[in-house]
Structure 1
């Protein structure tokens, strides 16, 4: 019942360790009350700063002559990432916990898990309600749309979840979110601002996005000076003119966007906004493909923002995980040291020393990070190449299907369409990418530098002793549970999450959940110990 680690969500797969900071938050228990909780589990929640705490905190900063924070959300987010836990302890952080995750949980539904977590000592919102009809859901929504201003913390909506865990499991997940939960966003706050001008930004894929420059206005606790216009169709539908007074709101309470124009205030000589015809960065004529909303700059290999954007994508945490930020990429490009992703692997210390802020230690760290990236598995390398429409999930499926870059780059459109979830748009993009000699040269250079362009198969030749038997693993063991699961996989077995008639064995460690034990006995499934498992695989 002792807290061992606290991490941020990060990008969904890797976050920051903030254990020391979280231990300073008084509403998060360092040790649980007495209760029948499993040997280890995870609980998720949100760290916040209340309105009242934020007001007092800003008042103190003002008296000390320090800059005030714009809103509680930014204050909380910035505080939890600070390096000095002692300083974090001075900030009025609070937390609400809302999701328990683990293998040996006794409860069967979400609401029960919240009530149990509260009994263990966690702070759980007392506004959560269990309902049984759509009418009750809308009653709840309508109530909090008005009553949210009475809360001591900010919300932009509510989350509606399927309560029963078995139904949650049946519904499953998409690549990004659970199918058993959905958020309902309240109507956003709106303000009026004057449209001063429009800038155009070129993204990694060449898409050109218009951004409105506005007279400064306060919106949802922040000063807004810019707003997204998305594409040419949005500009046309709004009939925008420079000098218009426009209504602005924050989409999801985060991104400002223009939603309407006050035509009664339009000046007689106002200039109509026309979308660019040429790239603002390289002056190449823009193109718009059939069915696409955006205009694109086709100058992929010479347009500076596209080159830098492609490198930034390549070095990202979920791709090659090279220790290089946007500013470093820009500096390397501006100095002429890199013009494509393959150039990264030719960088020298004599070049890096010419960058502002780079000393011996930071140079060694970056070069080591580049060297370590050569061990990145094929599916991540494929994702990192930045092929249009090839995201993380698609890259994994392509890597698993073709197993190496040679088979992938020689694949026909028809062969690509035979891969699960690969449609015509992705297939055509892949064929076009590998038909370009510039891309082939980059891939060949990366391969020569030692990057992984084939699936690494297990060469340990473990004997197939478990013969596809299905195991449920529960409890605490002398090694980590992940190691146990890996051994099952190595020796030909498979790990499943829930006990059913299809389960062959339950591998029981210390403090196995009583609910699982009871179910295994009821279904007459063989329960084995850690020692018995080792005998099965001759260890």
Structure 2
């Protein structure tokens, strides 16, 4: 039991940890963005695990400790349900932690084991499904159960066979591996991006994810050629299998040999070792020589080689017990601190960041690093012009450690935090007593904050509007032309027309620093993102397009029409997505789903009190307070009113009202069901939606009010609690009967 903390305090901390972890996961898996280091993420996860061990009743069904990967949905790619779950790996960070894990694993095995060691590739996890030797689908990890269908793009990767070599292929097998850019190919790719005036990728992992998750539709010939060139530079190495119950071999290393015979790409750096000491030597050697490898690595994966022990030891809900990832400490390099520039984000926080001479560290070129706030700058003791020590925390986030004082030349200068917002001039201040961070209080119309919120609205976790990305958001909220932006706030988003977009011109800015890009004469480079030169093949000039008579040589670009069309479609997106798009603090996809499912409409949510909001599964007091606070701001209400006037749907069709099931009168009316573990035929969200569609309540925790618990592999503590309370437990087949025919059918 966690000493010195009450159940109420533990519940609040669990909620805060869950929110932060899910924010980090959504950024990483859905937007290819890193907002916290691996080390900070692991620390948050370990704390959450400890609290849930002490207070099992606080572990919700969708707790990060029970899930892997991202949670958002996207309409960009079709969903693919994996035939067998794709798990994550637990991490260790020191030889001592590794030795402790190995002792536990060997004791559980109750026999001597062999250790298979392989390099942990810093890439994108992929699942290849082969039927009778033929590739049928390729999917990303997703949430471990359902991923994104990237089959057509995978076919361009030369190292992946669409038909397996040899014979004896099983009727169905899933091959798991990592897609990545080799170091040389990544350098070539960024050189080509720079030559074309395109954004350079921050690191190989983001480049791999961004390259694989692109659609061919809508691209012209030149764009298709660039897309296929990027895909053609990708490579893959396999590191496991799924959905093959009885492979004809006894070890993981033999699996690799068999996959190699079938023509699948396997690593040449795999070793099978007899002792933990030898494993640690392997780890140390590769840590010293990590940049001699053809691809980026961030650690070593250690597995028990014997396949029989994989089944015996099993897995938790998110990671196997027979494997572990040893993560290397970050590297350090020296570079020059050229400047410290302050940027303002979506929440108004003013963040100083270091602008540095480009330097390669932990596999990618770094030009900037956050310094968090003015107090951190003082504590680190850095001066503009210093030679500084830089590392990557968790091999991902650049971090300035401090100056090399001995190399100072006397012309360095101290950083002075500005008193006004660099984008709107409003005086910066702490938002509450004791805050160190300074924020711009002009939340309504500060261009930086509006830009961030508009970009969030278009993100995959919100309205998933492909045409509303970083560039479009900047053009709409902070253009060079016209002087008044089309969107002084997001309230007018759904009123936009092609005529509003056509005149826009923006200053092209450097992605890393945010500073204007200059031409050879030192003049800022301008771009008209929603306008293009008219071609002879274009239809007759249409004055309703938004151009003036003097602009007859130009016409709206395809991007202008696509954005307006995308916004029209977004008006009827599910209520939970609309809630996420409103930018209410802490209301991400999980909380938004819970609110939408329970209340059914925005009006009902606005009318609810704090207690009613907090009692909803997946919400709680912190989110309840955020919702009430948000609706207490007049310009937030204006957003809702203007969106509603423009046709945005703020209610779930057919929902009977607060607290009632969405399918009133269904076969599960008045029935509470908890679905936990891996239920064949259902993703985690799919099981919940099936319960709701049948008129039932999909609860996240087991209590005396629970009527049924549907449990599959990885059910964990909820299964034990159900048995202790005498609640009927159903398998996947019985669950399917329950949600389609009702409780009475279970006894037929």
> For this structure pair, what is the TM-score category when the shorter chain's length is used for normalisation?
0.7 to 0.9
- For 1:74 and 1:329, locate their aligned partners in 2 and report how far apart those are by CA, in whole Å: 21
1:496–1:454 distance in 2 versus 1, CA, 3 Å: farther
Match of 1:343 in 2: 492
Q: TM-score, normalised by structure 2?
A: 0.55
- Taking only aligned residues, the RMSD between alpha carbons, in angstroms, comes to 5.0
TM-superposed CA distance for 1:38, in Å, is: 5.0
User: Does residue 1:294 correspond to 2:440, yes or no?
Assistant: no
Determine if contact 1:109/1:164 at 8 Å carries over to the other structure: no
Match of 1:376 in 2: 573
Match of 1:37 in 2: 170
User: Does residue 1:245 correspond to 2:442, yes or no?
Assistant: no
Match of 1:328 in 2: 472
TM-superposed CA distance for 1:48, in Å, is: 3.0
TM-superposed CA distance for 1:276, in Å, is: 2.9
Paired residue for 1:451, among 648, 663, 674?
648
1:485–1:281 distance in 2 versus 1, CA, 3 Å: closer
Match of 2:345 in 1: 203
User: Does residue 1:95 correspond to 2:236, yes or no?
Assistant: yes
1:190–1:75 distance in 2 versus 1, CA, 3 Å: same
Paired residue for 1:313, among 443, 447, 456?
456
TM-superposed CA distance for 1:320, in Å, is: 1.0
Paired residue for 1:152, among 294, 297, 307?
294
CA deviation map 1:146-200 (0-9, x unaligned): 2434433221223467984686653448xxxx99987543233322222222110
TM-superposed CA distance for 1:433, in Å, is: 0.8
Paired residue for 1:4, among 108, 127, 136?
136
SS for the counterpart of 1:45 is strand
SS for the counterpart of 1:296 is coil
Aligned length: 497
Determine if contact 2:709/2:729 at 8 Å carries over to the other structure: no
User: Does residue 1:227 correspond to 2:369, yes or no?
Assistant: yes
Match of 1:256 in 2: 398
User: Does residue 1:22 correspond to 2:136, yes or no?
Assistant: no
SS for the counterpart of 1:249 is strand
SS for the counterpart of 1:331 is helix
TM-superposed CA distance for 1:215, in Å, is: 3.1
Determine if contact 2:428/2:439 at 8 Å carries over to the other structure: yes
User: Does residue 1:393 correspond to 2:537, yes or no?
Assistant: no
Q: Which has the higher contact order (CA 8 A, sep 6+)?
A: 2
TM-superposed CA distance for 1:310, in Å, is: 0.8
- For 1:223 and 1:159, locate their aligned partners in 2 and report how far apart those are by CA, in whole Å: 25
Question: Unpaired runs of 5+ in structure 1?
Answer: 475-481, 508-524, 529-535
1:270–1:179 distance in 2 versus 1, CA, 3 Å: farther
- For 1:185 and 1:34, locate their aligned partners in 2 and report how far apart those are by CA, in whole Å: 38
Alignment of 1:139-538 (within 5 A): 139-159=281-301, 164=310, 170-172=316-318, 183-220=325-362, 222-268=364-410, 270-288=412-430, 289-290=432-433, 292=435, 294-322=437-465, 323-333=467-477, 334=479, 335=482, 336-355=485-504, 356=528, 357-358=530-531, 359=556, 361-420=558-617, 422=619, 424-456=621-653, 457=655, 473=680, 497-498=712-713
TM-superposed CA distance for 1:314, in Å, is: 1.0
CA deviation map 1:22-41 (0-9, x unaligned): 324343221235446354x6
1:135–1:144 distance in 2 versus 1, CA, 3 Å: same
Between 353-362 and 280-289, the greater mean CA deviation after superposition: 353-362
- For 1:193 and 1:397, locate their aligned partners in 2 and report how far apart those are by CA, in whole Å: 48
User: Does residue 1:48 correspond to 2:180, yes or no?
Assistant: yes
1:127–1:337 distance in 2 versus 1, CA, 3 Å: same
Q: TM-score, normalised by structure 1?
A: 0.73
Determine if contact 2:663/2:692 at 8 Å carries over to the other structure: no
1:95–1:403 distance in 2 versus 1, CA, 3 Å: same
CA deviation map 1:407-437 (0-9, x unaligned): 3223334444434454554333222111112
- For 2:450 and 2:211, locate their aligned partners in 1 and report how far apart those are by CA, in whole Å: 34
SS for the counterpart of 2:569 is helix
Determine if contact 1:21/1:88 at 8 Å carries over to the other structure: no
TM-superposed CA distance for 1:452, in Å, is: 3.4
1:526–1:485 distance in 2 versus 1, CA, 3 Å: closer
TM-superposed CA distance for 1:369, in Å, is: 1.0
